[in-house]
C-alpha cells in the first residue's frame, strides 16, 4: 500500500452502526488470526494500490456492510474477472466471511474490518472503483434515528468521488421508507442517474445473490427494493 490521502475529513460523531456484542465463535476467531494475512487489509490512512493488492489490473467492486459475507463470497466466486473489497465492522461476520472465502478457494477478495466511510475516505483512491454495493444497510427505522442511515448527501458524494466515470452504486433494502429515503437523497444529487428500479418479492435481485438480511426481510413479509445508480460521466 502506498501514498497518503491528505483530504482527511473532520471528525464524525454520527455513525451508521453500533458495535453489536455478538458472540464470536472459536472458528471465527481462529479465522481472523490465521486467514487475515491472506484476505485482510489493515485499516490505516494510506491509499490502497489495488493492482498491487490483487496482483493484477481488474475492475474493483466494493461491498459496504457485507454482514456474514456469504453473498459477497458467492458474488466474488461468480465473477473471477473482478476484484472485490468487502468492508464490515462486525468481527464475527468478518471471521465468517474469511472461512467462506477459504472454503471457496477464491483469490479475488480482500476485506477491511473498519467503518466503510473512513475506509472510503482515507484508503480508496479517487475514480478507482467500478462498482459499490450496499445491500440491506441498517434501516434505522425510527425517525429520530434517520440521521444514522448511511445513505446521506455526503455519503453519496464520497461514493461518486471514488467511482470511475460510468461506475455504479447498487443498493437494496427491504424497508419501504428507506427506499424512499434513498430515492430522495439520490434524486437531489447531480452526480448519479438512476438506471434500474426494481420492487420485488425476493425473486428479481439486480445482479446480486440473495442475502441473509434479505431473507430475514422476506420472512417478515417485506417487499425488496433494488436500485442501480450510475455515476454521471465527467461529474465534478
Decide: is 137 part of the binding site for ligand SAM (CB under 6 A): yes
Size of site (CB under 6 A) for ligand SAM = 23
Q: Would you say 85 or 160 has its CB closer to ligand SAM?
A: 85
End-to-end CA distance of the chain: 26
Cβ 102 to ligand SAM, closest distance in Å? 20
- The residues near 196 (Cβ < 8 Å, ≥ 6 apart) are 206, 226, 227, 228
C-alpha cell at 199: 420492487
Pairing mode of beta strands 192-200, 224-231: antiparallel
Q: Which residue is nearest to ligand SAM (CB)?
A: 65
Binding-residue pattern over the window 53 to 72 for ligand SAM, x denoting contact by CB under 6 A: -----------xxxx-----
Calpha distance 202→199 (Å, rounded) = 9
| Binders in 93-132 for ligand SAM, by CB under 6 A | 93, 115-117
Candidates 42, 115, 138, 154; catalytic one: 138
Contact 138, 15 (CB under 8 A): no
Ramachandran area for residue 154 (φ above 0: left; ψ -120 to 50: alpha; else beta): alpha
Nearer to ligand SAM, 50 or 213 (CB): 213
Binding residues for ligand SAM restricted to 173-202, rule: CB under 6 A: none
**Residue 57 or residue 60: which is nearer to ligand SAM going by CB?**
60
Q: Among this protein's residues, is 44 annotated catalytic? A: no
- Check residue 89 for interaction with ligand SAM (CB under 6 A): yes
- CA-nearest of 85, 3, 90 to 47 is 3
150 Cβ contact list (under 8 Å, min separation 6): 16, 64, 65, 116, 117, 134, 137, 138
Closer residue to ligand SAM in complex, CB, 57/90: 90
Asked if residue 111 lies in contact with residue 88, where contact means CB atoms within 8 angstroms, the answer is yes
Minimum CB separation from ligand SAM for residue 63, in Å?
7
136 makes contact with ligand SAM (CB under 6 A): yes
**Catalytic residue set:** 138
Residues that bind ligand SAM (CB under 6 A): 16-17, 64-67, 87-90, 93, 115-117, 135-138, 150, 211-214
Amino acid at each position: 500500500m502506498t501514498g497518503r490521502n491528505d483530504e482527511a475529513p473532520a471528525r464524525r460523531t454520527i455513525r451508521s452502526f453500533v458495535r453489536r456484542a455478538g458472540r464470536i465463535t472459536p472458528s471465527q476467531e481462529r479465522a481472523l488470526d490465521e486467514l487475515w494475512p491472506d484476505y485482510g487489509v489493515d485499516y490505516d490512512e494510506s491509499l490502497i494500490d489495488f493492482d498491487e493488492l490483487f496482483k493484477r489490473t481488474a475492475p474493483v467492486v466494493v461491498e459496504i456492510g457485507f454482514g456474514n459475507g456469504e453473498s459477497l463470497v458467492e458474488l466474488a466466486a461468480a465473477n473471477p474477472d473482478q476484484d472485490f473489497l468487502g468492508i464490515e465492522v462486525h468481527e464475527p461476520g468478518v471471521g465468517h466471511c474469511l472461512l467462506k472465502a477459504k472454503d471457496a478457494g477464491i483469490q479475488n477478495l480482500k476485506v477491511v474490518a473498519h467503518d466503510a466511510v473512513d475506509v472510503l475516505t482515507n484508503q480508496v483512491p479517487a475514480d478507482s472503483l467500478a462498482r459499490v454495493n450496499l445491500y440491506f444497510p441498517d434501516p434505522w427505522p425510527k425517525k429520530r434515528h434517520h440521521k444514522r442511515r448511511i445513505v446521506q448527501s455526503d455519503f453519496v458524494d464520497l461514493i461518486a468521488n471514488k467511482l470511475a466515470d460510468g461506475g455504479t452504486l447498487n443498493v437494496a433494502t427491504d424497508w419501504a421508507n428507506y427506499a424512499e429515503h434513498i430515492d430522495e437523497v439520490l434524486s437531489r444529487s447531480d452526480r448519479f442517474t438512476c438506471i434500474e428500479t426494481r420492487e420485488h418479492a425476493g425473486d428479481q435481485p439486480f445482479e446480486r445473490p440473495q442475502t441473509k438480511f434479505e431473507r430475514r426481510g422476506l420472512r417478515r413479509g417485506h417487499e425488496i427494493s433494488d436500485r442501480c445508480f450510475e455515476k454521471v460521466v465527467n461529474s465534478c
